[in-house]
């Protein structure tokens, strides 16, 4: 229900934030909302886009807090569940991505995602990735990018998955540090709460483990998967 509207308590629960924090964000105009008389309403589509953008910019402490909350609430399994390693399929790992431009990287990541057999509408997926990048780059400091659709529409995928490509030539991607990216995680989830949790966990894995250099040093797709799985286990042990 992309056009669903939340009240204050509902959106706070959805975002794993205290209601007082959401109220303060709304008061300062830092979260999208609509006024309905004396009440405020939050449109789900707008909140999903805002939330993914916010996660990419969280400080280390706030990211850790958010990740801890979503680890408990985002899925039915235990908080120790290695969700990223489960979502990464071997056929969607590419150690030699030939892309040389940002548009080319997005196209090649969609092609890589198609290897899973789970992408129903690759053209719509590409358009949604491009739309998301127009809001704000999904590039992170350190040469990593986390492209994802602007909206998580279940009809686009047969199941949730994460694709990982390593570019032969680093590509300018609009990261905050101005550096190019050579590691691309394409996040495609059928459920928005899982999407936000996966996004937060990948940010933790990139910033707080040795995954990034290990991925660059990996000899092949199997080595890349092992580096990713080990990094996730390191993050899980801290919960």
Q: Give the mean model confidence (pLDDT) for residues 81-88.
A: 92
More confident residue, 152 or 18: 18
Would strands 88-97 and 161-172 be described as parallel, antiparallel, or unpaired?
parallel
pLDDT tens digit sequence for 88-102? 999 999 999 999 999
Relative orientation angle of helices 221-237 and 192-208, to the nearest 10 degrees:
90
Q: Give the mean model confidence (pLDDT) for residues 34-61.
A: 87
Segment among 1-15, 18-32, 218-232 with least mean pLDDT: 1-15
Q: Which two tokens mark 89? A: 């399929």
pLDDT tens digit sequence for 120-169? 999 999 999 999 999 889 999 999 999 999 887 778 899 999 999 999 99
Is residue 206 over pLDDT 60? yes
Bridge-partner residues for 145, per DSSP? Answer: 139, 184
Q: Which CATH superfamily is domain 83-237 in?
A: Mannitol-specific EII; Chain A (3.40.930.10)
Contact 193, 14 (CB under 8 A): yes
Strand ranges inside 44-143, DSSP E: 88-97, 139-140
Question: What pLDDT score was predicted for residue 148?
Answer: 96
CA angle centred on 64, ends 9 and 135, rounded to 5°: 70
What are the domain boundaries of the chain?
A: 5-56, 83-237
Is residue 236 over pLDDT 70? yes
**Interacting residues of 214 by C-beta distance below 8 A, sequence separation 6+:** 227, 230, 231
């Amino acid at each position: 229900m992309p056009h669903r509207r939340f009240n204050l308590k509902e959106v706070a629960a959805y975002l794993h934030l205290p209601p007082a924090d959401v109220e303060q964000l709304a008061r300062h105009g830092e979260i999208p909302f609509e006024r309905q008389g004396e009440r405020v309403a939050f449109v789900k589509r707008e909140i999903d886009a805002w939330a993914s953008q916010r996660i990419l910019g969280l400080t280390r402490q706030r990211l850790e807090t958010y990740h801890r909350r979503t680890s408990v609430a985002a899925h039915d399994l235990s908080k120790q569940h290695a969700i990223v390693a489960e979502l990464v399929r071997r056929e969607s790992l590419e150690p030699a991505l030939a892309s040389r431009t940002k548009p080319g990287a997005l196209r090649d990541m969609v092609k890589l995602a198609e290897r899973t057999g789970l992408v129903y509408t690759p053209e719509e997926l590409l358009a949604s990735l491009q739309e998301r990048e127009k809001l704000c780059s999904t590039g992170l400091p350190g040469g990593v990018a986390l492209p994802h659709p602007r909206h998580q529409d279940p009809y686009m995928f047969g199941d949730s998955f994460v694709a990982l490509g390593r570019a032969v030539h680093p590509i300018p991607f609009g990261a905050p540090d101005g550096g190019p990216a050579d590691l691309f995680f394409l996040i495609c989830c059928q459920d928005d709460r899982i999407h936000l949790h996966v996004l937060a966990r990948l940010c933790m894995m990139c910033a707080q483990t040795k995954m990034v250099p290990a991925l660059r040093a990996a000899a092949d797709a199997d080595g890349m998967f092992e580096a990713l799985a080990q990094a996730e286990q390191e993050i899980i042990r801290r919960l």
